[in-house]
A and B are shown apart, each in its own frame.
Chain A
Amino acid sequence: MSELNSKIPEGPLAEKWDNYKEHAKLVNPANKRKLEVIVVGTGLAGASAAASLAELGYSVKAFCFQDSPRRAHSIAAQGGINAAKNYKNDGDSVFRLFYDTIKGGDFRAREANVYRLADVSRNIIDQCVAQGVPFARDYGGLLDNRSFGGSQVSRTFYARGQTGQQLLLGAYGALERQIGLGNVKMYSRHEMVEVVTIDGKARGIIARNLITGELERYFGHAVILATGGYGNVFFLSTSAMGSNVTAAWKAHKKGAYFGNPCFTQIHPTCIPVTGEYQSKLTLMSESLRNDGRVWVPKTKEDAKAIREGKKTAADIKEDERDYYLERKYPSFGNLSPRDIASRAAKEACDDGRGIVPSGLGVFLDFADAIKRLGVDVVKARYGELFPMYKNITNEDPLKTPMKIYPAVHYTMGGLWVDYELMTSVQGLYCLGEANFSDHGANRLGASALMQGLADGYFVIPYTIGNYLSSEIFTKAIPTDHPAFVEAESVAKERAEKLIGTKGKKTVDDFHKQLGKIMWEYCGMARTAEGLTHARKLIQDLRKEFWSNVNIPGTLYEFNPEFDKAGRVADFIELGELMVIDALNRNESCGGHFRLEYQDEGEAKRDDEKYAYVSAWEHTSVDADPILHKEELVYENIKLQVRSYK
């Protein structure tokens, strides 16, 4: 028996969503105007949700911490968005996209949600094209596709190397249109710091105005969090500098369960770390693996010579190279899924065959593609990516292979939500990367954009109505209600404590230290022993943080160091939960690789004991959280060993 009610509709898989929509309760247009919805975050999920709900007639307030909703980090997604259009006539279908996503997630995602995602993927492309998103086209004027990691069909739509940017600008345009029409009130440079609940229902938020530092109260009949992933818990990641877990974490502490926190994605193709000063890692799109071949030298001696600058890639002859992905996974080769490609890179480097001075790097080589297609075709296919790489590294990938290494990129875990995307708190929803829902233990390439937009454009507009239809008699609650006063005073007290600490170490000192702990013990390879040790380290770090952090300036001014400190405080608490979750899951699946559970380097799942979502309930920072299990029931597919060989 499942302890959590995931509210999966009855009926055959392919009909569940239609059944749901046909029976969901509706709100009449006159009542929609009176219902207020708060949307926190304006990336793909948040912007599309805010715009779509405003189009329906709800009164929306949208919040983002950046200076404009267009800056959200969805903008940095490069490669593309999946949709089961089967425009290529290559055998794609909704079921196949559904199956690939479930399998890609190593059988740890909920069937009904993923099927719905695959189903609405087709509407997303239609919607975005209608908005004027300039997708790549072929000479007949129709949409072009490419194939992407973990898939054998060509279903990825793209706009050069800037797909996320173009999709986000489409959603941002839709949002700005609603702002212009007065249906959305936009609050930029605002950060949510508390969820307000009244009688068990989410009724608003406390937000910090990042310009003045003042805390402000906002009411909503429902609250939607679309606040992205928590990859920055590792300090170095491909996330934006400001990406944070604060909103989701505050919701967690107010009763929203956190699902599968240990499922993080390490992306195989990032520019390797070069020094201590580094502030972030840069992704090179996975699409490059369509034409690039990954390799390291066969021998440690050659690798050492390259590291020391005595040899270059060109000095290593063809038969002295180990194209290890092609060797180990012949049917998927360089297009193997991310978790598998990342682990293989780590293995090669652990074996002493890394090719950058730190030892942590492998080659991604375009020489064959250039020979086959010509420089111009390769350049056109990857737009910005080659110049970007050259600019960062001072090396030209058209002449010498790229150097890459895995880096933290995406978090599959997030707030637990039911089929309606509602968290375990009534009226509190979570969309996009911030929720746990669709990617199981590993996300396939080009699926994040799909999920963000599916949630925002096509799911929440239906599911929120089912809840708000029973709220039409609830009048807007004045923000002098005791619950708002209480939530604000909690936020204020905490802020004063932080700024008043005036210790010796900077916020970044703590953040970097946390990142090192997480990468070392909760990164690509985890063990019970390491995780147990890590938990202690994180607890100590938390205590030290609250007694020894130094934040300059005052609360009531523009103070980015203070903003950062609040986020790091939450990351530290989240880090501990991730470690607890990783320790609980005595199996390897997807991005969660426990060294104790493997078959010669391949992840060994334990479906008997762990075919469930772990949904953690917060108790207090000093006590263990409570584990709730949502059993994953597979009615339409057979659980099997996930093989890409």
Chain B
Amino acid sequence: MKFNLKVWRQKNAKAEGKLVDYTIDNIIPDMSFLEMVDVLNDNLVRKGEDPIAFDHDCREGICGMCSMYISGRAHGPQHAATTCQLYMRSFKDGDTIYVEPFRAGAFPIIKDLVTDRSAFDRIISKGGFVSVNTGQAQDANNLPVDKAFAEKAMDAAACIGCGACVAACPNSAAMLFVSAKISQLALLPQGGPERNNRAINMVNQMDEEGFGSCTNIGACEAECPKEIKLTNIARMNREYLVASLINE
């Protein structure tokens, strides 16, 4: 297969970036998108040019590091898949493919397709946990958890923190990400004691990082590689509202 690529190149955080044209040939349909970029980079290195910088690590769709905005979609055209799990068979021979970084004010570009998503870590550090020190736990089966709730908590906990929700959202909102963690812990009894402070603190940090607000567009859910549901945002809003009333 042959492709025309238009790839965002930006030397560093301060430099101006632009789309640069590349053509690539002899691509096998079973290659992953990142392997296609590997081949392109291999060509560039052999020509003495600077290869395209991009984040990636596990290449199994679970670490959340890969993050390309491909032809106008976070992680590309395939539903419920990260960039590393996108295969070239999803494209037509001769396609022109645009490759850009995940764009958001709160995700500054480091180089080319690599962005700084540490804002997510800072939000988690404000409450995305249960405050239980090592060694303080009781026996695991002392507290039964309704299977239905445990399953829902797991659905929310599946978030990989890639930031596709932010990249897909016209408002650059991080509400799907934040609500996934708040939901997971709100659905489990272990999260109970801290639920009010958690909702307030995480939402406040989210705002401070410069993420936008939710206007119920739903692009985040549509593009989420782990199919995190929009209903989590509704739950987060309830948690936040109740917490605001109680905390005053």
Which residues does A use to contact B, with CB under 8 Å? Answer: 48, 51-52, 55, 66-73, 75-76, 85, 87, 123, 125-132, 134-143, 159-160, 162, 165-166, 169, 172-174, 176-177, 179-180, 186, 188, 211, 240-242, 274-275, 277-280, 282-283, 387-388, 391-392, 394, 457-458, 461, 506, 508, 550, 552-553, 557-558, 560-561
Contact = CB atoms under 8 A, between A and B. Distances in A.
Contacts of A126: 137-140
Nearest to B201: A180
A554 B7 CA distance: 22
Given A69-B121, A277-B38, A388 B61 contact: yes
A69 B121 CA distance: 8
Nearest to B186: A132
Interface stretch (B39-47, B229-237, B238-246): B39-47
B145 interface: yes
Interface stretch (B51-59, B167-175, B210-218): B51-59
B150 interface: yes
Contacts of A165: 62, 158, 160
B31 interface: yes
Nearest to A280: B59
Contacts of B6: none
A631 to B, nearest CB: 34
A394 B140 CA distance: 40
Given A130-B132, A134-B150, A166-B157, A241 B59 contact: yes
Given A278-B35, A557-B12, A558-B12, A134 B144 contact: no
Interface in B16-72: 28, 30-32, 34-35, 38-39, 42, 44-46, 48-51, 53, 55-65
A130 B130 contact: yes
B128 A142 contact: no
A-B interface, 10 closest residue pairs, ranked by CB to CB distance from nearest? A141-B144, A173-B129, A180-B125, A130-B137, A126-B137, A129-B140, A134-B154, A176-B125, A52-B134, A240-B57
B103 to A, nearest CB: 16
| Most interface-central of A68, A132, A141 (chain B CB within 10 A) | A132
B137 A129 contact: yes
| Most interface-central of A172, A180, A274 (chain B CB within 10 A) | A180
25 contacts: A48-B134, A55-B133, A70-B64, A75-B63, A76-B58, A76-B60, A85-B140, A123-B135, A123-B137, A125-B140, A127-B135, A130-B140, A131-B190, A132-B191, A166-B157, A173-B128, A173-B130, A240-B59, A274-B30, A277-B28, A388-B61, A508-B38, A552-B45, A552-B48, A558-B111
A534 B110 CA distance: 41
A275 B121 contact: no
A71 B65 contact: yes
Contacts of B129: 131-132, 173-174, 176-177
Contact of A550 (B45, B65, B144): B45
| Most interface-central of A72, A176, A457 (chain B CB within 10 A) | A176
Contacts of A172: 124
Contacts of A87: 141
Contacts of B143: 129
B161 interface: yes
Contacts of A561: 45, 51
B2 interface: no
Nearest to B44: A552
Nearest to B31: A277
B36 to A, nearest CB: 9
